[in-house]
Amino acid sequence: MSPLVKIRSERDQMSAVERRIADFILENAQLLRDYSSQQLANALGISQSSVVKFTQKLGFKGYPDLKYSVGEAIARADNGDATQVATQATAAFAESASASLWHCKSESEEETRHINTTETLQAVADALATAGANGKVFMIGLGDDDIYARSFALRLSLLGIPSVHNFDAPRMAASVSAAGAGDVLLVFSEHGNHPALCKIGRFFRERRGRLITVTRHTSNPLRALADLALLVSAHDDRPYIQPVLYQSALQHLLDGVFVQLCEGDEQRHVQLLANLERVQHMLEP
Amino acid sequence: MSPLVKIRSERDQMSAVERRIADFILENAQLLRDYSSQQLANALGISQSSVVKFTQKLGFKGYPDLKYSVGEAIARADNGDATQVATQATAAFAESASASLWHCKSESEEETRHINTTETLQAVADALATAGANGKVFMIGLGDDDIYARSFALRLSLLGIPSVHNFDAPRMAASVSAAGAGDVLLVFSEHGNHPALCKIGRFFRERRGRLITVTRHTSNPLRALADLALLVSAHDDRPYIQPVLYQSALQHLLDGVFVQLCEGDEQRHVQLLANLERVQHMLEP
DNA sequence: TCGATTGAAGCATAAATTATTGACCGTCGA
DNA sequence: TCGACGGTCAATAATTTATGCTTCAATCGA
């Protein structure tokens, strides 16, 4: 039972001094944190031993025990009331920018998680795994999109799925000419309407490869070509925030695929561990 | 902030004994109620004073203060035991992988936000802005770290702060030889102990440039050299999750700097808009 | 490689907090 | 009136916490 409720319920059967202690605690529970038994006694003009006896009578092991319990009770109680208001106020001042940024990002990530079904993620993971084992994985992105492609390619390589990575369209067209059935091409393109990329996509499909696109959640020509389409949702009125959100939502999406790949196959998992160590050794002699 | 999160976030920076204390508290927070500092010390086979010093280092008034805080945190956490069980169960079934991933990421991001003060972020933003206007910005990262460097460099360039970006140490050494006072070198290095990067950092400082490092929240030689150090906190037992968390926390940190840069100066803001449009036109004719 | 320096950990101990003891006082019922 | 009783307090014992000092080990620079 909450110590405060207990104190209140026994208050009637208490002596005068005890009742004063009880009242003080009930009214100033939050002050208790900084009060020793002696200080509490001083505040009430009574002896410290009375305070201790009071706590023991109530069934606590001693003063610190009561104090601890009251702390818990307060924490439980204002979980979502006063504290939160205070916290919000503080937050508004101290970390306005970063906290609100965090909030936007979370929102985008959640939306993105929502519009990509688990099945799609799984299908993408499977396609990559298969192509990694029996064929090739191609990957391309232009400009900013190259960053995501690059980072994902690095991750895949740790899993034993190396990829052919290009960051301009003409070279990619050349690379893709070597593609065959079962291969996978992953195209990153935020707006999905770059003609060269579409051309490469079509070319790749003609060669019976599976095309996976990663674009915004709009209808766009690139996505229309895809066997599997990963979609990213990210919106903000402030134009400088938008790319931040896009990137973080995209990253989150790719993280999901990566995790599914890791957890899907024990052997890949083992390989990852080995690779991680290897990389670490090479980079930090 | 919750004392447990705090402990966790500073765990890396701790000595062996301190880390054992931290782990014990994290794993047995609920036992703390019945432990005096001496008992805790005995349980770990260390001295009582180490426990007290541990608490003080973390910013608590002393052992009882830490204990009280932990009590509050626990109380807040399992506010309504039933609810929590239900929540956990739901989570485990419905959205296990992606939601738990999201949760880990959030935690890392929060920790990371916590260990980098707003002042540091602002200082970094200012340094970059100044160097962008009157000098040069250099940027380097090896391996995975290059990804983050690259993406941040792209962002900066949109703000009218182009940077000299290298992804191997020898070339960077050459580039840096052109550095002077007021220039900025941003070094990305997860573990911060790559000798070549340290050498470049020292060299750069000799030339009176300002060194900004981005590393894990450990004490590492690179960070020790820095004028300004950005720190990333990210932990998970699963080795394949760890890099995901690192990346997302780092990204979050950089997002913070980016936003501060955007919001700090109206002119930069305008330039960003213009650049965004320009890029869009070039990429998608 | 060798001091010099730094920082972590423990020991001893001081300081503080808490718990107990025993004396005193007022009340109440015999 | 007197003794029993409950309540309070001052004094003090016991426990717990905090700090000064020493030692040891790792790091750094010469």
Count the neighbouring beta carbons within 10 Å of the beta carbon of residue B243.
21
Q: What is the pLDDT of residue A94?
A: 43
Q: How far apart are the C-alpha atoms of B235 and B73, rounded to whole Å?
A: 20
Test A71 with B72 for CB contact under 8 angstroms: yes
A102 CB neighbours in chain B (<8 A) are 109-110, 113, 252
Span A100-116, pLDDT tens digits: 777 788 888 888 888 88
Q: How far apart are the C-alpha atoms of A179 and B91, rounded to whole Å?
A: 41
Domain spanning B115-283: which CATH class is it, in words? Answer: alpha beta
Given a contact cutoff of 8 angstroms between Cβ atoms, the answer to whether A264 and A161 are in contact is: no
- Describe the crossing of helices A96-115 and A242-264 by its angle, rounded to 10 degrees: 50
Task: Find the helix or strand (DSSP H, E) in which A15 lies.
Answer: none
Residue B28 is encoded by which pair of tokens? 């047995």
B193 CB neighbours in chain A (<8 A) are 284
- In the CATH scheme, what architecture does the domain A3-77 have? Orthogonal Bundle (1.10)
Residue A264 is encoded by which pair of tokens? 């899907």
Query: ∠ at Cα A154 (B216, A150), nearest 5°?
Result: 100
Nearest chain A alpha carbon to B283:
A194
- Rounded to a whole number, what is the distance in Å from the CA of A59 to chain B's nearest CA? 15
Within 8 A by CB and 6+ apart from A215, the residues are A189, A190, A191, A192, A222, A223, A229, A230, A231, A232
Q: What is the pLDDT of residue A96?
A: 54
Whole-angstrom Cα Rg for chain B: 22
Q: What is the pLDDT of residue B1?
A: 64
Query: Is the pLDDT assigned to residue B21 strictly greater than 80?
Result: yes
Query: Where, residue-wise, is CATH 1.10.10.10 in chain A?
Result: 3-77
Query: Is the pLDDT assigned to residue A16 strictly greater than 90?
Result: no
* Amino acid occupying residue B230: L
Q: What is the pLDDT of residue B139?
A: 92
CA of A225 to C1' of C15 (A): 77
Q: How far apart are the C-alpha atoms of A182 and A138, rounded to whole Å?
A: 12
- Mean pLDDT of the A171-175 span: 86
- What is the dihedral angle through the alpha carbons of A23, A26, A28, A33, rounded to the nearest 10 degrees? 120
- Stronger pLDDT, B77 or A189, i.e. the higher one: A189
Given a contact cutoff of 8 angstroms between Cβ atoms, the answer to whether A270 and B181 are in contact is: no
Structure confidence at residue A285 as a pLDDT band (50, 70, 90): very low
- List chain D nucleotides near protein: any atom < 7 Å from a Cβ: 6-11, 15-20, 28
Structure confidence at residue A234 as a pLDDT band (50, 70, 90): confident
Q: What is the pLDDT of residue A139?
A: 92
Test B248 with A255 for CB contact under 8 angstroms: yes
Q: How far is CA B216 from the centre of its chain?
A: 6
Span B32-56, pLDDT tens digits: 888 988 888 988 888 888 899 898 8
Within 8 A by CB and 6+ apart from A195, the residues are B285
- List chain C nucleotides near protein: any atom < 7 Å from a Cβ: 7-12, 16-22
Cβ of B49 near strand C (under 7 Å)? The reply is yes
Given a contact cutoff of 8 angstroms between Cβ atoms, the answer to whether B98 and A120 are in contact is: no
| Total beta-carbon pairs less than 8 A apart between chain A and chain B | 138
Query: Where, residue-wise, is CATH 3.40.50.10490 in chain A?
Result: 98-283
Q: What is the pLDDT of residue A98?
A: 60
Domain spanning A98-283: which CATH class is it, in words? Answer: alpha beta
Test A248 with B252 for CB contact under 8 angstroms: yes
Q: How far is CA A100 from the centre of its chain?
A: 15
Using DSSP, state whether A120 is helix, strand or coil.
Answer: helix
Cβ of A100 near strand C (under 7 Å)? The reply is no
Task: Identify how many contiguous H helices and E strands chain A contains and give both numbers.
Answer: 14, 5
B254 closest CA partner among B192, B212, B200: B212
Test B259 with A241 for CB contact under 8 angstroms: yes
Using alpha carbons, list the distances in angstroms from residue A110 to A104, A114, A248.
10, 6, 11
Residue A197 is encoded by which pair of tokens? 């990329």
- Mean pLDDT of the A257-276 span: 74
A243 CB neighbours in chain B (<8 A) are 155, 276
Test B68 with A68 for CB contact under 8 angstroms: yes
Nucleotide nearest to B16 (CA to C1'): C8
Read off the DSSP letter of residue A266.
Answer: H
Span B254-275, pLDDT tens digits: 998 988 888 877 666 676 667 7
- What is the dihedral angle through the alpha carbons of B160, B164, B168, B172, rounded to the nearest 10 degrees? -150
- Measuring alpha carbon to C1', the residue closest to nucleotide C20 is A49
B272 CB neighbours in chain A (<8 A) are 239-240
b/e A251-270 (16+ beta carbons within 10 angstroms → b): bbbbbbbbbbbbbebeebbe
Q: What is the third-level CATH fold of B3-79?
A: Arc Repressor Mutant, subunit A (1.10.10)
Span A144-171, pLDDT tens digits: 899 899 999 988 888 888 898 888 888 8
A258 CB neighbours in chain B (<8 A) are 240, 244
B65 closest CA partner among B27, B37, B28: B37
Q: Tokens 């001094």 identify what position?
A: A17
Nearest chain B alpha carbon to A107:
B102
Q: Any idea which of A86-90, A155-159, B184-188 has the lowest mean pLDDT?
A: A86-90
Structure confidence at residue B281 as a pLDDT band (50, 70, 90): low
Please identify residues in chain A, positions 34-63, with a C-beta within 7 angstroms of any atom of strand C: 36-39, 48-49, 52-53, 55-56, 61-63
Structure confidence at residue A87 as a pLDDT band (50, 70, 90): very low
Cβ of A15 near strand C (under 7 Å)? The reply is no
Using alpha carbons, list the distances in angstroms from residue B135 to B6, B63, B112, B270.
38, 49, 29, 21
Nearest chain B alpha carbon to A154:
B144
Report the greatest alpha carbon distance in chain A.
94
- Describe the crossing of helices A242-264 and A266-283 by its angle, rounded to 10 degrees: 120
